Structure 1
Amino acid sequence: MLAKPEDVVDRDREWGLLTEFVTDPDPAMRLGIMSGRRRHGKSYLLQALSDRVGGLYVTAVREEGRLPAIQRFSDAIATHAGLRPGTLRLTDWREVLSNALDVTARSQTPLLVILCGSAMSVMHELLSGTKPLRGRAVIDLRLGAFDYRASRAFWQIDNPLVALQVHAVLGGAPGYRPVAARPHPNDGFASWLTRTLLDPGRAVYSRTETEYLLREDPRITHHTLYYDILTAIAQGASTPTKIGAALERQRNAVTHPLGVLESTSYIQREQDILRPRHPVITLADPVIRFNQLITLPQAAIVEQGFAEEAWQVAAPTFNSKILAPHFEDLARAFTRRYAHTLLPDGLPGPVGTTEVADPAARTKHEVDVIALALGERPQAPRVRIALLGEAKATAARRGTGDLQRLERIRTLLTDQGYDTTGTTLALFSLHGFYPDLVESAAGREDLLLVDLATLYGVG
């Protein structure tokens, strides 16, 4: 395997897959597809791979006309073959690719082509149905964001709380660091935020960035409709019917746009892990979520240069509608990826959320984190439950009352026929735990306390 360059952070699995692709001695022409959201580092990774193997990397320009694009690509092939730019005068893409094949054949090396793009629908359709490339691609790599721990390391943020806050507004897209720079330890999150996502002069200004993101997919043509849908979801509409009602439209009028937004990972549908219910629709892209909840409602004063004042007004919304659900997301991510080192049975199975009825109290309990045992299927009857968790991003520490609530939920699930004999109870807290709860956890094998240090693996 080719050694990964030191400046390529994380991406070990992706680098291994790509280097296996380019070092395979098979002489036949091979094709790879890479897709991923804007600023996920696709170009950076492929440029590093190309440099490592002496390949040719060419960037497409959307606004460029057909003939200039062909000529620029032809010049790139000529230069790569040791010829002067302008040597190849071609007018058809078939001729261009044929010449690329000829250049490769003279070098006695197999032709390897990796097509890469951010327009997810376009990239996915390349291999669908009756498309000519269907069945010809060796790899179909979808490059995701860094996970929250890798993101903190990449941004070099020492304070886990600041790392969480930055991740809540930018996610794990590595391409934001060069245009936003990391928060200075002496400034804090609020000062950094007003200089970046709330500064109309910055490339990372959330209104500008959201517009770029929505333009990435050619299916998004009626921008007003899509913005309205995103705003409705941001304000709490969580089903197609509720979203349609918020827009004063029929449910079927928003079905296609919701499908587009889900395929681009700008929204997500979360299924109850225990019971078949309508999935809950939420905003998945942190920048879009921040834009719809914070920037747009305050746009008038933000664009007049009053970012600090806008943030003071919007901070409560940030804490309740962005930071709190994001902390719950990371609690589930921790359970999927890291909790196996702390759980008695090791790696859990599917992780998600659920809602548990409490007939005696005439209420329902929302469970922030639930993990089934490894091998169990979601919504199957009488499944084994590995973990029940509550994640709270409030300023208060968690105490025995939170533990008692989880114990009550575990009892209810036992009464409903679920296997809870090996269930671990987990409390996730942004600001730690009261001493009596810590003391209780020290004497119990079924109780896990996860603070920010544990969440980020630094304590």
Structure 2
Amino acid sequence: MDKPAEMFDRDFEWAELTRFAALPGPRATLGVVSGRRRQGKTFLLDAVTRASGGFMFTATETTDADALRQFGEALARYRGQPTPFRFTHWDEAVTELMRIADVGGPTVAVIDEFPFLAKASPSLPSIIQRALDPAAQHTNTPVRLLLCGSALSFMGKLLSGNAPLRGRAGLELVVPTLDFRLAAEFWQIDDPHTALLTNAIVGGTPAYRREFTQGDTPAGPDDFDAWVTRAVLNPARPLFREARYLLAEEPELHDTALYHSVLAAIAAGNAARGGIADYLGRKSTDLAHPLSVLQDVGMITHEADAFRRNRSAYRIAEPLVTFYHAVMRPAWGDLERPGRAPAVWQRAQSTFRSKVVGPHFEQICREWARWHASPDTHGGQATRVASGTVNDPTAKTSHEVDVAVHGETDNGRETLLAIGEAKWSDVMGVGHLERLRRIRTLLTARGSASGATRLHCYSGTGFTDELHHLAKDDRAIQLIDLPRLYDGE
């Protein structure tokens, strides 16, 4: 099956789906597809279904009886039957579904938004499991059943632990967001500075360019501010309320006010649980559940400190949510009135740079160091990249390391290949390099680094001539600017 010409990237996902769709053998087989909302899962599955002549049913949030009626009508249309199937329970529906590949070859059957069906009929996973049992396979045809959903907490549990479908799936595909390089290509933005600013707002979610902005992209650096006010801060455009809807669409998030408050605390720069608790005026222990739920639904990430495993940082996974809480939520009343967006955006410039672009730039630098930088840049193959904090007892202070690159020695032990500092708005100079040298000295004294640990400077603005001169003569000093982030290694 040829990938549709209008499908951007997704080569790996398409290859895996088409491989699964064409699996030989007489038995029915199960696959699970998941991923955050707006990533193009339905588009992928619809394309595979059309290319293979399969069946696709998209569930809605409704009652069990209505869902069965809709399913029966859809299946009858696919089978070319003049009257709908009248199923009284899902046992009958699943049994009939397993017979649709009666022409001999494998046939794809997709149930999209599967969590809606399982919510209305909690026994449905067990019914599917029973239909896939060896004892029931003699009545099945070679159906390639794909269950898809965006509720990450539900989909993650579908094949785990003692779940009925545990061990039954021949495919478990997670459709990711586009990384920052692919996102720039997808948005057709050639200027790295504009690409990163845009990515800091909309991230790598494909739907935000197609359905949500109808292809409206920043034409260049001079058009970026105008694009923000017309496409993101415009109350008539879909992106305006999208961050609010993302939480409302998650079935696990019942007290949305609490979850919005936790996200606001993280967007304000509070990465540790204690800082989030202080921001909200709550006890740290009170936040264990909401933080865990936000992590389960993929709204935040929980990352261990690069140097202290007992410390960690929470970060918002969706850039649009960070932008909403840092820039839009504090001025929501003004933004809802047409014509106020330019003034709000002008006032928010400092906040945007410090709370949105700065942290996002650091995250992009970590992604580059982990997935795009060559081993020659680090002096070895990167196996783990994180941020961290290093105490300086002599100066009675602590130092933040934005990018710490770990690798492995020949005997399998972890080693610190490089440490880096990321500055979005600053021209980096010798002072930044000396700070990194001081941190390397502290880590070497602790046995965590060595003289071979490289020093990386990441800047969105540039470097002084003196720093360029030092890096030219010393390969252990690496300067990474925006063109290198987007095109180099």
TM-score of the superposed pair, with normalisation by structure 1: 0.92
CA distance in 2: counterparts of 1:358 and 1:249, whole angstroms: 30
Equivalent residue letter for 1:423 = T
- The amino acid across from 1:79 in the alignment is R
Q: Give how far 1:71 is off.
A: 2.9
Measure the CA separation in 2 of the matches of 1:271 and 1:335.
Answer: 17
Shift of the 441–266 alpha-carbon distance from structure 1 to 2, 3 Å rule, reads same
2:270 maps to a residue whose letter is: A
Provide the C-alpha distance between the structure 2 equivalents of 1:98 and 1:282, rounded to a whole number of angstroms.
Answer: 44
* 8 Å contact kept, 1:162–1:188: no
- Cα distance in 2 for partners of 1:215, 1:175 equals 18
The 1-side partners of 2:352 and 2:143 are apart by 50
2:309 to 276, 279, 288: 276
Question: For residues 264 and 199 of structure 2, what CA distance do their matches in structure 1 show?
Answer: 21
Q: What is the rounded CA distance, in whole Å, between the counterparts of 1:47 and 1:358 in structure 2?
A: 56
Query: Does the residue aligned with 1:254 lie in a helix, a strand or coil?
Result: helix
1:90 maps to 2:87: yes
User: Which of 171, 185, 201 in structure 1 is aligned with 2:203?
Assistant: 171
Map 1:94-113; keep pairs closer than 5 Å: 94-109=91-106, 110-113=142-145
Relative to structure 1, the CA distance from residue 164 to residue 186 in structure 2 (aligned partners, 3 Å threshold; closer, same or farther) is closer
Residues 94-138 of structure 1: CA distance to partner in whole angstroms, max 9, x if unpaired?
Answer: 222222222223445311111111111121222234332122112
1:159 equivalenced with 2:191 (yes/no):
yes
User: 2:214 aligned with 1:189, yes or no?
Assistant: no
CA contact (8 A) 2:193 2:221 kept: no
Contact preservation (8 Å) 1:347, 1:374: yes
Residue 3 of structure 1, CA deviation: 3.5
Q: Is residue 440–residue 449 contact of structure 2 (8 Å, CA) maintained in 1? A: no
- Give, in whole Å, the separation in 1 of the partners of 2:392 and 2:276: 29
Give me the whole-angstrom Cα distance separating, in 1, the residues matched to 2:336 and 2:361: 29
Q: How does 1:7-406 map to 2 (within 5 A)?
A: 7-62=6-61, 64-84=62-82, 86-109=83-106, 110-178=142-210, 179-180=212-213, 181-185=216-220, 188-205=223-240, 208-305=241-338, 306-340=340-374, 342-343=376-377, 345-374=379-408, 383-394=414-425, 396-406=426-436
Counterpart pick for 2:446 among 388, 413, 416: 416
Calculate the aligned-residue CA RMSD, in Å. 2.2
SS of the residue corresponding to residue 265 of structure 1 reads coil
Question: 2:476 maps to what in 1?
Answer: 446
Deviations 1:141-183 (A, max 9, x none): 2221001000100110111111101111111111110112312
1:268–1:404 distance in 2 versus 1, CA, 3 Å? same
Does the CA-based 8 Å contact 1:22-1:112 persist in structure 2?
A: yes
Gaps of 5+ in 1: none
What are the residue-to-residue correspondences of 1:422-441 with 2, within 5 Å? 422-441=452-471
What SS does the aligned partner of 2:389 have?
A: strand
Give CA deviations for 1:271-297 in whole Å, capped at 9, x if unaligned.
111223321223222111111111110
Matched AA of 1:236: G
Q: Using the TM superposition, name which of 432-441 and 303-312 deviates more.
A: 432-441
Instruction: Tell me how far apart the structure 2 counterparts of residues 45 and 360 of structure 1 sit (CA, whole Å).
Output: 57
Q: Is the partner of 2:99 in helix, strand or coil?
A: helix
Partner SS, residue 103 of structure 1: coil
Amino acid paired to 1:296:
R
> Contact between 1:350 and 1:376, CA under 8 Å: does it hold in 2?
no
Q: Residue 419 and residue 87 in structure 1: after superposition, are their counterparts in 2 closer, same or farther (change >3 A)?
A: closer
Give, in angstroms, the shift of residue 377 of structure 1.
12
Kept in 1, the 8 Å contact 2:247–2:253? The answer is yes
Report the CA distance between 1:31 and its aligned residue. Answer: 0.8
User: Residues of 2 paired with 1:186 and 1:261: CA distance?
Assistant: 34
CA distance in 2, matches of 1:325, 1:247: 21
Could you tell me how far apart the structure 2 residues matched to 1:389 and 1:155 are? Answer: 29
Native 8 Å contact 1:262 1:268 kept in 2: yes
Structure 1 counterpart of 2:97, which letter?
Answer: A
Separation (CA, whole Å) in 1 of partners of 2:7 and 2:24: 25
Give me the whole-angstrom Cα distance separating, in 1, the residues matched to 2:444 and 2:65.
Answer: 69
**What is the DSSP-based 3-state SS (H/G/I as helix, E as strand, rest coil) of the residue aligned with 1:34?**
strand
CA distance in structure 2 between the partners assigned to 1:270 and 1:67 by the alignment = 43
| 2:37–2:150 CA contact under 8 A, matched in 1 | yes
**Per-residue Cα deviation, 1:397-427 (whole angstroms, up to 9, x for no partner):** 2112212221222222222223424322111
Q: Distance in 1 between matches of 2:268 and 2:368?
A: 27
Task: Give me the whole-angstrom Cα distance separating, in 2, the residues matched to 1:377 and 1:307.
Answer: 58
Corresponding residue SS for 2:102: helix
Amino acid at match of 1:354: G
Q: 1:13 to 1:376 in 2, by over 3 A?
A: farther
How far, CA to CA, are the matches of 1:346 and 1:249 in structure 2? Answer: 44
When the two structures are aligned, how many residues end up with a matched partner?
450
Aligned-partner Cα distance in 2 for 1:243–1:358: 25
Q: Distance in 2 between matches of 1:58 and 1:148?
A: 33
Contact 1:350–1:377 (8 Å) recurs in 2: no
1:369–1:428 distance in 2 versus 1, CA, 3 Å:
same
2:152 and 2:298 in contact (8 A); partners too = no
Q: Secondary structure at the match of 2:374?
A: helix
User: TM-score by structure 2 length?
Assistant: 0.87
Q: CA deviation at 1:356?
A: 1.9
How far residue 270 of structure 1 moved from its aligned partner, in angstroms, is 2.3
* Percent sequence identity over aligned pairs: 37
Are residues 166 and 375 of structure 1, via their aligned partners in 2, closer, same or farther at CA, if it must alter by over 3 Å? farther
Q: What do residues 21-68 of structure 1 show as CA deviations (whole Å, max 9, x unaligned)?
A: 122213211111111111111111111222222212221122x44344
Q: Hey, what's the Cα distance between the residues in 1 that align with 2:488 and 2:186?
A: 15
**Equivalence for 2:132:** none
